[in-house]
Chains A and B, each alone.
Chain A
Amino acid sequence: MVDSVFVGLSVLTIGSAILSLESRELLYGGIALAVSMLGIAGYFIILDAPFVAMFQIAVYVGAVAVLIIFTVMLVRAPNTVTKKETRKRKIAGILLGLAFLVLAGSILGNSAATQLKFNDTVPIFDVQAIGKELLTYYSPVLLVLALTLAAAVIGALALARREDIEERNEPTN
């Protein structure tokens, strides 16, 4: 049977996921998304992956959510609820989401995956095992990933640069 911590985390995660899309104010949507990420980190702690949970909190709640909230403040959208979301589109979206839910849920319910059990006797992986994997077998991936992150951050900076300000400042120096 499912326990109460799992049910509480499910309500928190799914409720704030819906709220992040449906809230009237975009800023509250960003905060609800951060709460949803915290719920996912709680699942990681239930699943005996505390290192990944800390990474999730540091990256998603600490960096991504703050970045999103800054962007929301920067763009100051005049109308967060647009008239482009017509009723027809909304019905189509709900039907598509429900169709995926029913399809994947029935496939999962009828598959052999329902007989899978968590093994309680095995030792939990600590950070040492993850670190060993990262630095031996997956070390090229780690290097490529570091370059990808650096390129993404530099690209975002180059994209968001304003050229008109620079031209105005040029004659002074």
Chain B
Amino acid sequence: MSILLRAGARVVIFGITGRFGTFSIRDLRASGTEVVAGVVPGRGGTEVEGVPIFGSAEQAVCDTGADCALIYVPAPLALDAVLEAIDADCQLVAYPGDGLPVADAMEMRAAARARGAWLVGPNSPGLISPGKAKLGFMPSFCFRPGPVGLISRSGSLSYEASYRLSCAGVGQSTVIGIGGDPVKGVTAAEAVTMFHEDPETAAIVYLGEIGGTDEYAVADYARRLDAKPVTALLVGRTAPPGKKMGHAAALVGGYADSWAAKVEALAAAGVNVARSLDQLPIAAAESLARAGLAPAA
């Protein structure tokens, strides 16, 4: 199965005529994802790369049956675009942009949940169910289909970590970039629950960092008696306190934000914490073995 994003997803792209939008038409198609519509207010009736453009999400969904939205608009316009996609009944909406006001992230998250839809982002590369579909801009060559559900706060780390896992024969059911901001759509807590319920996911890999509380939610899950095996890698061991490391949420304020506190909490909950990036595929393979699976050739 995979989580959230399935084969046959029909994608509508907001801001489809921009640089990212046009790139994504080709990139998503190359990954086997159907881009069925674009939304650009006032430009309905035109098309780009063979994709019809609509003036509103409602029209796009009505005419094409789009069910997933990928939103490439600047932060000041993002809240309205995401609300429009949700109101048009898109069940999955990815907003990859960064620099979004946290108040707008709260509104987006609440609006999605009120309609039973899921938001992915902000500040995330999106998600991919390898071999099935992609909603975002992560580089497809890093991924291969398999039994590991991967959750990452960082885009760049998810690419390289997935690439290393793929090379080691550890494929992925879905890789979701939950994003580097404090308030977001799908959280680590929600993602682990989805992977828990997904019959095609046998083990979970979590890529975390300093700051925020997502790691503690992962530890809470791992303590469940019926939890699937969890492997984790945390970055930011060498980050000094009080300095933001790129991501809005990657900041050590108190002890609970620190690398040491999080590693301790995860390890105590039974998570297999990899000591470094090169140890991650080994640790993930161990987890799979515990779930009765061997890495693919």
Q: Do A and B come from one complex?
A: no
